[in-house]
Amino acid sequence: MARERKVLDALDTAKTQWYHFTAVVVAGMGFFTDAYDLFSISLVTKLLGRIYYFDRDSKRPGTLPPSVSAAVNGVAFCGTLAGQLFFGWLGDKMGRKKVYGMTLMLMVICCLASGLSFGSSAKGVMATLCFFRFWLGFGIGGGPPPLASLRRAPQRRPGGGFTAAVFAMQGFGNLTGGIVALVVSAAFKARFDAPAYRDDPAGSTVPEADYAWRIVLMFGAIPALLTYYWRMKMPETARYTALVARNDKQAAADMARVLNVEFVDEQEKAAVAEEEARRRDREQYGLFSREFGRRHGHHLLGTTVCWFVLDVAYYSQNLFQKDIYTAVQWLPKADTMNALEEMFKISRAQTLVALCGTIPGYWFTVFFIDVVGRFAIQLGGFILMTAFILGLAVPYHHWTTPGNHVGFVVMYAFTFFFANFGPNSTTFIVPAEIFPARLRSTCHGISSAAGKMGAIVGAFGFLYAAQSTDPSKTDAGYPPGIGNTDPNNTDPGYPPGIGVRNSLFLLAGCNVVGFFFTFLVPESKGKSLEELSGENDMAAAAANSYRQTVPDSGQAE
């Protein structure tokens, strides 16, 4: 135990070195890939509808039926939920490095497979896409818990900033997805131009457009493959090696090699005695123990609920940006464009919002999290997200009036800014800091899995809730209303949706819930991971117990 403390103290007090920045980039590329893979699908769903659900007799371009659209958008989150629970547990058993390598290779394979299909029918393509996106999500789910535990930054200086910088790479992944879709759609449009849908419904979607969405999805394999090599060259985290694997010599050697620090050897007798005390304590202090509930039960409740409600709002807004932009008439009507032109304009809109709102929010967190603190950023983020969403919802009819869409887009961008300079960053960072090392990956996995449950609710629920209350304006393929069991009866029976405006009110309510549950989460600014988790108290108790039971302990030391 004495040597463990030397390793961890040296890790906490080490000067910021080039290795820290390397670790941020390598670990951050995992989040870059995650964001690219999760959000790039929203850039191509309109194109998928035009290609595979074209109706020659319809006055509107083909669209994915809501059930198919929900599956295509949401199935990856179902896989992510399962992956976070499984790999979060596995990360505490096998180590962060091995698990991260496994998830990266799974992501590479499934990214490539997502761009392939069994057959050319709509059912075959959609089934293939959903199948491989589920397993892609499973691999993505294995990233956050181990990555969150790869905390190598100096703890008492910019520790939170380094962790936030890793997570901020999501913003660049989101932006890159938009840029790749922009380049691909522009290149295909320049080479294979076509008339607008209303001028030539069949000719508005050229056969070559089927390659465009495949290229965009398969591109996600490239950063994952590049990251794998560099990640495998990095050592396991010192905290896992010392506190969980119980190999303090290896932890010291790993950190001495990459951080240029030396560790002083300690007396083996004290280390063995304190290790035995630690072992007894560990056996009494499991995830489902009363002691864990007393120390961290309310913390885990706070991190899970906050992450859940945040992702309901965040992923609803992110995945269905294109539908909201169409509702406020920022994007032209679909029948005035050909398929590739629509993909280009959707990509341009989402890239602009990512550039002006999403990325600045992430980096404000990087620069201010160790100044302002996690608690204030999360609380303020929930408040301001609520304010801006209400600013969109209350005067919604004003924003949908022609000429006012610019103001709507600015307000909408601010909701993304304060999501990322707020709970979208802190809900990831805090669970990586406040739980014991041996349970850190598991607890982070549980918290992030709760978030993905929220993302699933957002992906499936918002699509249906935001449908127009006017049955004639719902998406093609929308099911009959509740209570209508007669397939020959075209009367929907009940309004098919609550509309975008009321859906925004629901999202604002989610943020209010997150605001109140934030008070269950402790401030972790300026504290070491062992202080936050209570492991320093446990070590001190073990040392005292040893001194009381071994009379000559003073001579031994």
* pLDDT score of 316: 85
Q: Within 13 Å and on the Cβ side, how many CA atoms surround 16?
A: 9
Helices (H) and strands (E) in the chain, counts: 26, 0
Residue-level pLDDT at 143: 63
Kindly state the tokens that stand for 110.
């499934």
Spatial CA neighbour of 28 closest among 100, 121, 122: 100
Q: Residue 36 is encoded by which pair of tokens?
A: 């690219």
Q: What CA–CA distance (Å, rounded) separates 172 from 175?
A: 5
Helix segments in 320-436, DSSP class H: 321-327, 339-353, 359-372, 374-393, 396-399, 405-420, 423-429
Q: Tell me: pLDDT of 555 over 50.
A: no
Where is average pLDDT lowest: 1-5, 286-290, 296-300, 359-363? 1-5
Measured between alpha carbons, how far is 301 from 135 in angstroms, rounded to an integer?
28
pLDDT digits (tens, 9 = 90+) for 154-196: 444 445 777 788 888 889 999 999 999 999 999 999 999 899 9
User: DSSP per residue over 452-514, as a string?
Assistant: HHHHHHHHHHHHHHTS-SSGGGSPTTPPPPTT---TT----SS-S--HHHHHHHHHHHHHHHH
pLDDT given for residue 153 in this prediction: 46
Does pLDDT of 539 surpass 90?
A: no
pLDDT at 436: 81
Q: How far apart are CA 36 and CA 48, in angstroms?
A: 18
118 residue type, one letter:
F
Q: What's the rounded Cα separation, in Å, for the pair 508 and 500?
A: 12
Give me the pLDDT at residue 552, please: 46
Q: Is 235 exposed, middle or buried (0-12, 13-18, 19+ CB in 10 A)?
A: middle
Tokens of 533: 């988790």
CA-CA distance, 313 to 336, in Å (whole number)?
31
Alpha carbon distance 305, 301 (integer Å)? 6
| Euclidean distance between CA atoms 430 and 295, whole angstroms | 15
Q: What is the pLDDT of the chain when averaged over all its residues?
A: 78
Cβ-based neighbours of 432, under 8 Å, separated by 6 or more = 148, 149, 151, 163, 440, 444
pLDDT of residue 389: 93
What homologous superfamily is domain 15-260+289-471+492-539 in, according to CATH?
MFS general substrate transporter like domains (1.20.1250.20)
CB 2 within 8 A of CB 267: yes
What is the rounded distance in angstroms from the CA atom of residue 164 to the CA atom of residue 24?
9
Top-confidence residue, 362 or 432: 362
Residues in the chain: 557
pLDDT one-digit tens code per residue, 16-74: 555 656 767 777 787 888 899 988 999 999 999 999 999 888 888 999 988 898 899 88
**H/E segment holding residue 34:** helix 18-39
**Residue 403: its pLDDT value, please?**
77
pLDDT at 365: 93
In tens, the pLDDT along 440-496 reads 878 888 898 899 899 889 888 877 777 767 666 666 555 554 444 444 544 444 456
